[in-house]
Structures are given as structure tokens and as C-alpha cells.
Amino acid sequence: MNEVILYIKDLFFLMMDALILSFQHNWKVLLFAILVAVAIKTYVDTNKLSEILFKRKKISIIASVLFGTFTPLCACGTTAVIIGMLTTTMPWGPIMAFLTSSPLMSPDGFILISGVIGLKFAIALTVASIIIGLAAGFITTAIEKNTSFLENQSRFSEKENTNKCACSNSNAIVKKATFLEKLNLKDLLHNFITLGLKQILLFYSIFICIGSLINYFVPSSIISLLFGTDSFYAVPLASLIGLPLYITTDSGIPVIQSMIQSGASQGAMLAFMITGSATSVWVIAGLTTFMKKRAIILYVAYVVIGGIVSGYLFDFIELFI
């Protein structure tokens, strides 16, 4: 019994050492990423931004991808936007474009990845999220236009425009906000605690511990054999492993860093990040509340194929850079 307790203590101290070492090296990048995410959450009205972008249907797919890639929406935020799109006359193309690009990248994620893993990996994930989103949007548009595959795939029986103004009195007097009110310090502090500390910092810390345990229990030779650049099946294997896991761009960084340090190829980890962020059990469970089977299958196919292709391309490009 004493040996078990000592063993657990050793593992605990191992994780704490990994946490301290990671924070020593990355605290500036982590703090900057948190501040960016909190500032956008506090001062950017994503509802108004989405309304502006989605008014022009001719550019709605591109707008959806840009909106999904460059806004730090959580799962709830993504779901809210998708529900809003489904309850309007928005076609499936922009919906799929937003849905495939939104979980993969955000401004704070780009900052963290650049500082912890490297700028090339951050750029690769950003480019992959944009290309996957655009491809999903335009392919879905062609499918919807030429087939009946996506007919009745929304769980909303009738598409109604629910974007109504909460205030119907056009003669209402709007009080001009003071400078302090514009700063919105109360919401800023609230978002710093709930988003910055309870989400980004907490999950980042948890995944540092997981990464340290992977390094401890799994020999680097096995990781290199399974996920190294010499392994042709490393990319699809990493994609399949990422399918059921719940990770976010921010929280997955420590695990990916530890895997790369143990010999995994960056292409395989790129594929793991793409599928892990977009196709976890929790994400799919959420999608089933407002999307039906064929639409979900199409979404998963986009993400898995996009992740595998992106991973192979990144490893291929790495050979010449």
C-alpha cells in the first residue's frame, strides 16, 4: 500500500514539475493569448459581426470561413451561430463552411501555438482551417444544388427568420455610454475569470499533465514508430485517434508538443489537432440536436479527409523547407 502511495506521489510531482517548467517557458505567450481571447469576447459583438458578414449571400461561404477562423467561439457560441443560420434562409454551404472552420483556429490559439510549438505549425493549422472550410462550403453548395442529399437535414421543420430586434420602440432614447461604461470592466473581469482562467488556463494545465504522463508511460521509440515521419500510416492513425477525443486548439497544445518532442511528425499532430477539435463525442452529440444523420456524416467526412490531406501535405512540405 505504501508503495502505491509513493508511486502516486511520484506521478503527482512529475506533473507538477511539467506544469512549472511549461509556465516558466510559456507564461508570456499564455497570458497574451488569454488577454486577446478575453478582449475579443468582451468587446466584439459576434452576433452583429455575423449579421454583417452573412447579409451578402454571394460571399457568405468566404464570410463564414473568416468568421469561424478568426473568432474565438466556444462550443456554445458555435452552436448558437449555427442554430441562427439554420433558422434563416441560409443554405447549407455557408453552414458547413462555418462549422468545419470554427473549431480549428482562433486568434488566441494562433498566439499559443506560435509561442509553444512554432510559427510554421500555427500557419499550417490556420491555412488548413481556411481551406477545409472553403472546400466544405463550395462542395456542399454543389451537393445541395444538384442532389437531394441534404433535404430535410435540419431538425427545424420550418426555417424562420428569428433575428428580430429585442427593442421594437424606434423612438426610444438611447443614453450615450460614458468612457468607463465603454471599457466594460465588469464583463472584462468576468470573462477573464470564466474564459481565461477557468477554460484556457485550466484546460492547458490539464493537458500539460496528460502530456507529461504520455512521456512517462509511452517510450519515445513507440511514438516515433507509430507517428514519426517514416511511418506512412502516422497521419491517418493520428486522425482516427483524434476523432472521439475532446480537445480544443488551446488545450491540445501541450499534448502535441510532448508528442512532437518524443518523435511524432508535425503532420500527424496537425491531423490529430484537426479531428480532435472538430469531431469529438461531445461535438457530435451537440450537432445531433439540430442536424440529422446525413448532414453530420458529411461534416465528419470533411473534417477527417481534410485532416488527413493536411497532415500529409504538411509533412511533404516539411521535407523541402
The number of distinct structural domains making up the chain is 1
Q: Torsion-angle region of residue 184: left (phi > 0), alpha (psi -120 to 50) or beta?
A: left
Q: Considering the domain boundaries, does residue 178 fall inside one?
A: no
Q: Considering the domain boundaries, does residue 174 fall inside one?
A: no
Instruction: Detail the DSSP E strand segments found in 206-251.
Output: none
Q: Which amino acid is at 5?
A: I
Question: Which residues, other chains included, contact 314 with Cβ-Cβ below 8 Å and sequence gap of 6+?
Answer: 124, 128, 266, 267, 270
More confident of the two residues 286 and 226 = 226
Q: From the CB of residue 260, how many other CB atoms can be counted at a distance below 10 Å?
A: 18
- Distance set, CA 308 to CA 81, 124, 132, 277 (Å): 27, 13, 11, 14
More confident of the two residues 280 and 303 = 303
More confident of the two residues 174 and 284 = 284
Residue 290 is given by DSSP the state T
Is residue 16's pLDDT more than 80?
A: yes
Q: Which amino acid is at 292?
A: K
More confident of the two residues 290 and 149 = 149
Exposed / middle / buried, residue 237 (Cβ in 10 Å: 0-12, 13-18, 19+): middle
Q: Which residue range forms the structural domain that includes residue 306?
A: 2-148+185-318
Residue 165 is given by DSSP the state -
Q: Considering the domain boundaries, does residue 160 fall inside one?
A: no
* 220 and 262 Cβ atoms separated by less than 8 Å: yes
Chain segment 38-48, per-residue pLDDT in tens: 887 888 776 66
The per-residue pLDDT for 289 is 75
Average pLDDT over residues 117-128: 94
The per-residue pLDDT for 163 is 43
Q: Considering the domain boundaries, does residue 278 fall inside one?
A: yes
Q: Residue 29: pLDDT band by 50, 70, 90 thresholds? A: confident
* 274 and 104 Cβ atoms separated by less than 8 Å: yes
Q: Which helix (H) or strand (E) holds 212?
A: helix 202-217
Rg (the chain; Cα; Å): 21
Residue 1 exposure: Cα atoms within 13 Å on the Cβ side: 0
The per-residue pLDDT for 172 is 46
For the ranges 89-93, 119-123, 165-169, 290-294, the maximum mean pLDDT occurs at 119-123
The per-residue pLDDT for 69 is 79
- Distance set, CA 146 to CA 62, 78, 149, 292, 310 (Å): 21, 28, 9, 19, 28
Nearest to 82 by CA among 63, 60, 103, 99: 99
Q: Considering the domain boundaries, does residue 106 fall inside one?
A: yes
The percent of residues above 90 in pLDDT, for the chain, comes to: 28
Distance CA 163, CA 158 (A): 15
Chain segment 62-81, per-residue pLDDT in tens: 888 887 777 766 555 566 56
The per-residue pLDDT for 118 is 92
The per-residue pLDDT for 57 is 57
The per-residue pLDDT for 230 is 82
For the ranges 9-13, 196-200, 305-309, which has the lowest average pLDDT?
A: 196-200
| Cell triple for 29 | 505567450
Q: Which amino acid is at 294?
A: R
Is residue 112's pLDDT more than 80?
A: yes
DSSP string, 22-89: HHHHHHHHHHHHHHHHHHHHHH--HHHHHHHHHT-GGGHHHHHHHHHHSS---HHHHHHHHHHHHTTT
Strand partners, 154: 291
Q: Considering the domain boundaries, does residue 14 fall inside one?
A: yes
Chain segment 143-182, per-residue pLDDT in tens: 999 999 998 888 764 444 444 443 444 454 555 666 556 6
Is residue 53's pLDDT more than 80?
A: no
Instruction: Return mean pLDDT, the chain.
Output: 81
Q: Considering the domain boundaries, does residue 173 fall inside one?
A: no
Q: Considering the domain boundaries, does residue 156 fall inside one?
A: no
The per-residue pLDDT for 138 is 94
